[in-house]
Amino acid sequence: MEGLRSLLLESLSRYGMPFPVDKKVCSSWTNELPRNGSTIIFTSCMYQIEPVVPILSKFGPYTGILRGVASLAKMVKPPKEELERAYRILNNIVKAIKRKGVDLAYLYEEEPYSGAVLLEMGMLDEFAEHARKVSEMLKERGITRVITVDPHTHNALKRYEEFVKFDVEVVSYLEVIDPSKKVEGGFTIHDSCLYSRFLNLREKYRSLILNSGISLKEDFFVTGRETSTCCGGPIGGVDPKLSEEIAKRRASELNRLSDKLLVVCPICYVTLSPHFKGEVKDVAEVIL
């Protein structure tokens, strides 16, 4: 655990991310947004890089091997099809936000990491220091509003105010957009634990899904707010084996309801896809 902690802090210092990554992978999904503006989209590179996180998690016990390997980002670059999928999702989200008349900017390679993994691993002193740096950077850039695209980034930014003075409004894209497609057919859904239980966005994204025409196939004991379970992804960096066991069980539960699954989080997508027997789609792929 101490080795993993050390690697996270070293990578944050050297790469601005909790593991080595080429920031061009994070920022190359668009070149159309302005770099300056009071409202920005904040991706934290979650959709872009998440497909390689399970690979990195398997190296958790061998952090000495990984430390200082500057070429790691090239070695574990996401597969082309997964990267293209991530880029499509982000562009779908941006188009939907702009349809609501929002003037949106993006920080490209200067976009900071949210610090979510520090918070979720209980490294609160380190998270507070990271929050201070990001808060100061956003203030210097004149940014007063950030629109997030995933639950872990959203939760981390929302928690900044517990640790530092943070005068930036944090909004999820789900609170801004309307569905732009009419979709026929049924899906079941895997809820983000953060969106559903802690960020009060469960009914918001459900209403977007239903308004698009999708029929949700649910069961109280599988998809209920208090009875649904985690995908297993967040524990992957600490215990990959347990993470996979949880993911297999969760995928099996959801498969009993449908062979088509909607998710609202890139971690859930990457964790459940290998075990779900059928189609797994992010909500932003389907309704936008």
Q: Where are the domains of the chain?
A: 2-175, 186-286
How crowded is the C-beta side of 153, counted as CA atoms within 13 Å?
27
Joined together, the tokens standing for residue 180 give 């732009």
pLDDT of residue 65: 41
Joined together, the tokens standing for residue 280 give 């797994």
Is 41 in a helix, a strand, or coil?
Answer: strand
CB 152 within 8 A of CB 120: yes
Joined together, the tokens standing for residue 124 give 């609160």
Under the banding of pLDDT at 50, 70 and 90, the label for residue 40 is: very high
Under the banding of pLDDT at 50, 70 and 90, the label for residue 162 is: very high
CB 141 within 8 A of CB 36: yes
Q: Tell me: pLDDT of 100 over 70.
A: yes
Work out the burial of residue 267: count CB atoms within 10 Å of its CB; fewer than 13 is exposed, 13-18 middle, 19 or more buried. buried
Buried-exposed string 77-87: b where 16+ CB fall within 10 A, e elsewhere: bbeeebbebbe
CATH of 186-286, one of 1.20.1070, 3.40.50, 2.20.28, 1.10.3470: 3.40.50
pLDDT of residue 5: 76
